[in-house]
Each structure stands twice: as C-alpha cells, then as structure tokens.
Amino acid sequence: MKIKPIKCFKAKLEDITSDKSISHRFAIFSLLTQGTCKIKNYLKAQDTLHTLEIIKALGAEVYDDNGIIYIKSPLSIKSPNCILDCGNSGTAMRLLIGFLSAIEDEFFVLSGDQYLNARPMKRVSEPLVKIGAKIYGRANANLAPICIQGAKLDGFDFFSNIASAQVKTALILAALNAKKESYFNEVELSRDHSEIILNKMGACIEYLNSEKTSIKIKPLKEKLKAFEVCVPNDPSSAFYFALASCILPNSKVVLKNVLLNKTRIEAFKILEKMGAKITYSITNEDFESIGEICVESADLKAVEINENIAWLIDEIPALAIAFACAKGKSIVRNAKELRVKESDRIKAVVLNLQKCGIKVKEFEDGFEVEGGEIKSTKIESFGDHRIAMSFLILGLKYGMEIDDSECIKTSFPNFINILRQIGAKIGD
C-alpha cells in the first residue's frame, strides 16, 4: 500500500474503531453471566470476531441484530469438538487460558495464527499450573497450540514482576472459580478495565492499597448479572489521528466517544509533554469516563519515557513517529515487553526509522530516536498492525509504501477509510 503526503486536515471523527480490549472482555465475561447480554458498538475486527466464534463454540448463543451483539451464556461450558481459534489476539488467548483452566473436567485447545503461536504464554500458564491447572503446549506450555484440561483450582497469592493487564485478567478469571479467595500483586498498575467491569457486574474484587497494585478476588457464589453496555471508541486507535494532527501543520482533530481511563490515555499525556495542544472533556460516565479529545498541531520537542510503560505499550510505535518528527533525542526505556508483541516492535521501529533516514539507537528495553530529515521509503510491517498504521501516519507527511498492510484489519478495519476521509491519497 502506498500513501501520498497531504498538507493539513481538520476533522471531527466519530467512527473511530471501538475499543478492542473492552470488546474482548465483554465477550468473554458474558460467559460468567446468567441471562442475555447486550453489547452496542462491539468491535467487528478480525481479532474480536474470533472471540465471538470461540464463545459460540463454548455453548453461548450469539446473534447480531442491527449491529447490536446479543450473547446468552450456556448453563454450563462443555468441551467443544473443535480447536478454539484466537486469530492474532494475545488478549483472547491469555484471558481464555485463565478462564478455561478452571472449568472442571472439560478439555480445550487454543491456537492462533503464525504470529500469535510464537508469542509467550508461560507468563499465564506457569502461575496457573502452580495452583492446580493442567496446561500443556509447546516449549513447556509457553507456545500455542495450548491444551487445557480444566480443574478445580486452589486460591493463590501471586506477584507479577511485569505489569500486564492480560496476565492480571487471566488470573482474576481463574480466581473467580477457585476454591478460596486469591491475591494478585503487580509491580505497577496495569490497565484496570477488568476489575472495574467485573465489580460492576457483581464480582468482589477489592483493592488492598492506594496504588491499586494489590487486589483480593473472592470466588463467585453464583453467576453474575447480565449486562447492557455500549463499547467506547479505542484511545489506542484514536491516537493515530492525534499523532497525525500533531505532525501536520495547521491541523486539528476532535476524537469523539473515546475511553478516558487514565491507564489508556498515557500516550496523549506524552504528546502533551512534547508540546502538543490537547484538551479533554467527559461526556459520559456509565462504567468508565468517556468523552472527547481535541488535538491541534504543534512543534514537538524530544522526551524521555521510562515509567508507566504498561499504560502506553500499544502506542509506543506511534510515539516513535512523533519522536522522528520532534526536535532533539527522545528515549524509551523499560519497554522490553515490546519484544514479544505481534512483532518485535523495538526491532521493527528501529529498522524502519533507519530506512527513513532517522538516527536510531537500539537498546534491549527500548530505543533512542533523534528527530531529523525524513525520506519516503518502503516499510516492513512484520505483519504487525501497529507498525503498519504508525508508518502510514508518517506517510501523511512524507509519503510511504507499506508491505503487508492487510494486518491492519485485525484491530482497525476502517482505518484506511478514515485516512481517506481526512484527505489521504492511498493506492496499491
């Protein structure tokens, strides 16, 4: 895919893709309920549609009525007669490992595409095995396909040395069906959607410290109440157009119906530190703060990032584009987790920025980018949607060619349409 440069744009964007993390969670959490759940604005991308197919295979009734997803949970979950295909979604696979490991006497096999089956699952499987889960897979249950023989699990007191919402949620889902209460502790607060949503559904997840890094989870005594929700727009997806507005002169964008959870808008806060003009307004607080973000173009300056990495791990490739367009040397550290995402994102960012003529230093846990003159080139996406989208945004300013842009559909199926909406000229 080739994209040609544009001069500027002004837009109000309402059709940004729905939040992927929350769509996955509502689909999987519906299996804990009694009754019929109703989900408006569910993300219909490849990853989240795979999750709907999985919960169907587990016995749920799922149907789409005029764009609204209805899910009726089965009375009990039984072994399916098929492999559960997670596609490219680490979120789906890790959460399901936690959930399914506690379904007694049933058998499940989880697999995905070539990229997902190369990503580490031991961070979830290992603590679960220690409390009685029966989980098998390649490389000692680190690589999918993953096989699970459900069992009644003990309670646990687990410390996670990485801040990962996927690990936390997987352990919470296992704990909800454990024999006794469990404790989960993490090195720093990861995204906290699961705790917020599950508590509003009737679960009992208690914070034990002011930092919210230590929680107690009580097993469910009965099924949770069915929910009716509207999924907000994804701040990680909205961020690409915030970035575009920053790097293109005389540009302004209003991003509507966006989730404003503080663990999800850290990348916007980094742009503010770089000099971007950003304002926020809350319009809805049904289950979390939702609202509008207004971003205007600005001259960007370099920044150093070494904390709250878990809050902006998905946006770092896009932030690297901002670094390349900024004045000075920007640095990211403590982000080794980028090595095990859909691609090795540190390697992918460094290689592609170097192709663009930018001076980049690679670290084991991050990189340094010196802003400078950028040239149009051909970018390798490595099958990673966030690498492809980040460099397409850079292409709005300088022009770019992206290989394997099909991967964008895993998370943001209307991304190209929005690019065209703001004036981009895109072709093969």
For residues 101 and 152, give the distance between their C-alpha atoms in angstroms, rounded to a whole number.
8
264 is in an annotated binding site: no
For residues 105 and 76, give the distance between their C-alpha atoms in angstroms, rounded to a whole number.
12
314 is catalytic: yes
160 is in an annotated binding site: no
Task: Give the contacts of 83 (CB within 8 A, at least 6 positions apart).
Answer: 109, 110, 111, 145
Q: Give the residue among 302, 367, 381 at the shortest CA–CA distance from 336.
A: 367
Q: Which phi-psi region, left, alpha or beta, contains residue 373 (left: φ > 0; alpha: ψ -120 to 50)?
A: beta
Contact 86, 96 (CB under 8 A): yes
Q: Which phi-psi region, left, alpha or beta, contains residue 348 (left: φ > 0; alpha: ψ -120 to 50)?
A: alpha
Catalytic residue chosen out of the listed positions 19, 113, 314, 384: 314
166 is in an annotated binding site: yes
341 is in an annotated binding site: yes
164 is in an annotated binding site: yes
For residues 28 and 386, give the distance between their C-alpha atoms in angstroms, rounded to a whole number.
24
Task: Report the side by side order of strands in the sheet with 205-207.
Answer: 157-160, 182-186, 214-217, 205-207
138 is in an annotated binding site: no
Residues across the chain: 428
354 is in an annotated binding site: no
- Phi/psi at 122 (5° precision): -65, -30
339 is in an annotated binding site: no
Which CA distances in Å does 288 have to 13, 192, 193, 260, 397?
20, 11, 9, 8, 35
314 is in an annotated binding site: yes
User: Residue 203 has what DSSP assignment?
Assistant: -
Catalytic residue annotation:
314
Q: Which residues are annotated as a binding site?
A: 20-21, 25, 90, 119, 164, 166, 314, 341, 345, 386
Question: Binding site for phosphoenolpyruvate: which residues?
Answer: 20, 90, 119, 166, 345, 386
Annotated binding site for 3-phosphoshikimate: 20-21, 25, 164, 166, 314, 341
